[in-house]
Structure 1
Amino acid sequence: MPDYYLDKQPGQTEQSWSEAESSLQQLLEGNGRFRQGKPRFRRDIVAAQAAAPEQHPMAAVFTCVDSRVTAESVFDCNFGQLAVVRTAGHVPDRAALGSLDFIVAELKVPLIVVLGHERCGAISAALNAVSEDTHDPRTNYLVEQLWQPASQALEETDPKKAASHAMRLQVLRTITDLKRRPAYADILVVGAGYDLDTGTVTLIDKL
């Protein structure tokens, strides 16, 4: 695990940090099993029934609506282990933030993972709008919300690399926004990117 994630968040207790670190390690190990084609959990009806009485997720995952990005599979987790919030381009709108607030307050997760992915359709739409300069971002909510990382990516990198760069910018922007929320002072918030071709999840802390 990269050293930069071994520093506690400001205000985070030792117990919360220990739980967050353990949860993150379990997710990364689960991704390893997923990549190797050796999942531990079948997620069948027996597992669903076992988890039905109550839930105690070890982490929240805020990710995209893309049908190819299924957090429970990517991290090889069972019913009840993850609380997942999804919006296109993992844009933190009011509903997403309200959902994460509920997960933190009521389900007591120690960890939030913001999971972006390669070839994101929402980010591609924003990049196209910025490139063509013919679209008013105020007429499309997602384009409006993703305009800044799309613009920055096109300014900072080659057009062929802009989509990946914009994804990372959006992940970093999202985790920065979440870390500012007072209710998350005791929560570890990390960013990650998912490679659709290899199934690999890579932690993101910088460009």
Structure 2
Amino acid sequence: MASNRTAFPTATAPAALTELLDGNRRYATGHSRHRPAAAQHPFAVIVGCVDCRVPPELVFDQGLGDLLCTRTAGEVLDEAVLAAVQYGVEELGIPLVLVLGHERCGAVAATLAHLETGAPVPGHLALLVDEIAPAAHRTRALPGDWAEHTMCAHTAWVRDAIRADPAFASAHIAAGRFDLGTKLVSLLP
């Protein structure tokens, strides 16, 4: 199922970002709108975390078919994620890619725990630690919450990595942080 829209009314990145943030405000204040649909016409790609507390369609109060979502633990990039984003940007003409991090991220917490203890990282989890650890190292000396600083730095790094890839030159790439308490998304600088 998808949105009842035939297409996003203004296929520009600023209009898409405004629609996401407006939907997020409806969601955060308990005024979600849900609509049945029969086709997909996504207006934004969301690169998000697998955390079940942060489902993009609900966070942004969008119907099925409105968002093209790809989710990995800690928004870690790999070729499959990049291919999904490129499909949305090139094949579907989506003007906006939003990388969405969130507070209290388990992938960040696991990375920090491994860095603090030096314990070996089992199996496939090594990819998460390898990808998130640079942000943790860059933010370790900052005052305040190391996990929060790491999550924001990693989310911004993912945004910047996508921005730097010529495959996504036609899209606007942004990064945001979801607050589990307020349910609001704020954009990262």
* TM > 0.5 fold call: yes
Query: Counterparts in 2 of 1:160-199, with a 5 A limit?
Result: 161-199=145-183
* Superposed counterparts of 1:1-207, under 5 Å: 19-41=12-34, 43=35, 47=36, 50-51=37-38, 54-135=39-120, 140-158=126-144, 161-205=145-189
Shift of the alpha carbon at 1:72?
0.4
* TM-aligned CA distance change 1:132 to 1:36, over 3 Å: same
Check the 8 A contact 1:58/1:109 in 2, yes or no: yes
Task: Tell me how far apart the structure 1 counterparts of residues 89 and 17 of structure 2 sit (CA, whole Å).
Answer: 16
TM-score normalized by structure 1?
0.81
The alpha-carbon deviation at position 185 of structure 1 amounts to 1.2
CA distance in 1, matches of 2:88, 2:64: 16
Q: Distance in 1 between matches of 2:50 and 2:142?
A: 27
Give me the TM-score of the superposition, normalised by structure 2. 0.89
Q: Secondary structure in 1 aligned to 2:116?
A: helix
- Number of matched residues? 179
Write the letter of the residue equivalent to 2:16: S
Letter of the 2:173 counterpart: V
Distance 1:109 1:121 in 2: 29
Task: Indicate conservation of the 8 Å contact 2:140/2:146, yes or no.
Answer: yes
Unaligned runs of 5+ residues in structure 1 are 1-16
Cα distance in 2 between the residues matched to 1:151 and 1:130: 9
Q: Once the two structures are aligned, what percentage of the paired residues are identical?
A: 37
How far 1:102 moved relative to its partner? 1.1
RMSD: 1.8
Higher relative contact order (CA 8 A, sep 6+): 1
Bigger proportion of residues as helix? 1
Structure 2, unaligned runs of 5 or more: 1-9
Distance 2:16 2:81 in 1: 21
